[in-house]
């Protein structure tokens, strides 16, 4: 605008009133995101920066970080993003999740740990989350949606040791069969118990199988909050190192339900725990650019 026009003051152009165009923001999705952290002051900042850069903070209704036996640095990190920080006095992932479920304000709840970074553009993240809600609402029997990145799941991906050796008759292998989406382009063509989801209008390919072929995991998963409270919470106990193992037996004996997996969003990337590994060379990290590129400030 020319200098003489600028002098007319805010709200006028050539003497006429005008209103600046409003940026229309889509309403947040009805998802409460729960991040459980435990004394990882060098890991947590990278994780939360990826959530900000990838648009997660704007896409969901609520995001809270539950700090188990944390440090002052963790609280400062959350304040800088900013996200709500909830300090806790023990190291129990199960208790943190229980508290989070009781305090969540949304119909759906997404559980994350502090070493899963978001590898996505904001637009894609929103689309994958919208797909996830559609699958939970419309795909028969689905109660859990896994959101670990399909192409870039990160390290370690323990079931990858069974890649090419899938066996429905082997309990050790059969409970991990849904993980084959990470190494097969067409999972249903290679593993009989996996089907493609048929919900209309999905932006991506999604797959599903019975819960006995997709054992419980602390990896990123989206649930209906009340279903998780009714069916998972009664069995969810212990610190991180044990609650995953303790959940597997009750999970496998529950009445039949379905677990779905699509393109995913989150890559396991704990550079402290796996320091010394060449992360770009590790099988199934499969990044087409450095993970650090996703950790820029949003």
**Rounded to the nearest 10 degrees, how much is the dihedral formed by the CA atoms of 230, 212, 186, 290?**
60
Q: Identify the sign of the CA torsion 114, 118, 123, 126.
A: negative
Whether 6 is in a domain gets the answer: no
Is 285 exposed, middle or buried (CB count within 10 Å of its CB: 0-12, 13-18, 19+)?
buried
- Residue numbers of the domain that contains 60: 26-295
13: in domain: no
The C-alpha angle with vertex 269 and arms to 33 and 117, in degrees rounded to 5, equals 30
Q: Where residue 114 sits, what CATH number does that domain have? A: 3.90.550.10
Q: What stretches of 38-194 adopt beta strand conformation (E)? A: 60-68, 84-88, 108-113, 116-118, 142-148
Does any domain span residue 287?
yes
The tally of domains found in the chain comes to 1
Give the pair of three-digit tokens for residue 2: 């020319």
- Look at residue 247 and tell me if it is in a domain: yes
> Which contacts of 4-12 are long-range, i.e. CB under 8 A and separated by 24 or more positions?
none
Residue 35 belongs to some domain of the structure:
yes
Per-residue pLDDT of the chain (298 residues; tens, 9 = 90+): 444 434 434 444 455 555 544 445 789 999 999 999 987 888 899 899 999 999 999 999 999 999 987 888 899 999 999 999 999 887 788 889 999 999 999 999 999 999 999 999 999 999 999 999 999 999 999 999 999 999 989 888 888 888 888 888 887 789 999 999 999 999 999 999 999 999 999 999 999 999 999 999 989 999 999 999 999 998 876 554 466 778 888 899 899 999 999 999 999 986 555 544 444 433 444 444 455 555 444 3
Q: Is residue 2 situated within a structural domain?
A: no
Q: Could you tell me if residue 5 is inside a domain?
A: no
Classify residue 154 by its DSSP letter.
Answer: B
The position carrying tokens 């947590």 is: 44
- Domain annotation covers residue 202: yes
């Amino acid at each position: 605008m020319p200098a003489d026009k600028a002098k007319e003051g805010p709200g006028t152009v050539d003497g006429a009133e005008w209103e600046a165009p409003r940026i229309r923001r889509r309403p947040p999705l009805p998802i409460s995101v729960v991040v459980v952290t435990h004394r990882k002051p060098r890991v947590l900042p990278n994780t939360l920066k990826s959530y900000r850069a990838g648009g997660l903070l704007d896409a969901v209704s609520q995001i809270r970080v539950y700090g188990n036996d944390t440090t002052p640095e963790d609280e400062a990190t959350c304040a800088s993003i900013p996200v709500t920080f909830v300090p806790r006095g023990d190291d129990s992932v199960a208790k943190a999740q229980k508290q989070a479920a009781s305090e969540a304000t949304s119909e759906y709840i997404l559980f994350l740990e502090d070493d899963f970074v978001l590898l996505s553009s904001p637009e894609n993240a929103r689309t994958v989350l919208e797909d996830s809600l559609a699958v939970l609402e419309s795909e028969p029997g689905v109660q859990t949606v896994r959101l670990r990145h399909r192409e870039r799941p990160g390290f370690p991906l323990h079931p990858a040791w069974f890649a090419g050796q899938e066996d429905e008759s082997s309990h050790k292998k059969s409970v991990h069969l849904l993980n084959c989406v990470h190494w097969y382009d067409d999972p249903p063509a290679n593993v009989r118990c996996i089907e493609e989801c048929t919900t209309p209008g999905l932006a991506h390919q999604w797959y599903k199988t019975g819960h006995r072929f997709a054992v419980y995991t602390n990896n990123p998963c989206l649930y209906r909050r009340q279903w998780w409270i009714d069916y998972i919470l009664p069995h969810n106990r212990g610190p991180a190192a044990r609650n995953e193992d303790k959940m597997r037996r009750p999970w496998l004996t529950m009445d039949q339900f379905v677990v779905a997996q699509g393109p995913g969003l989150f890559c396991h990337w704990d550079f402290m725990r796996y320091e010394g590994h060449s992360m770009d060379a590790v099988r199934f990290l499969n990044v087409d650019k450095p993970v650090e590129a996703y950790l820029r400030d949003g």
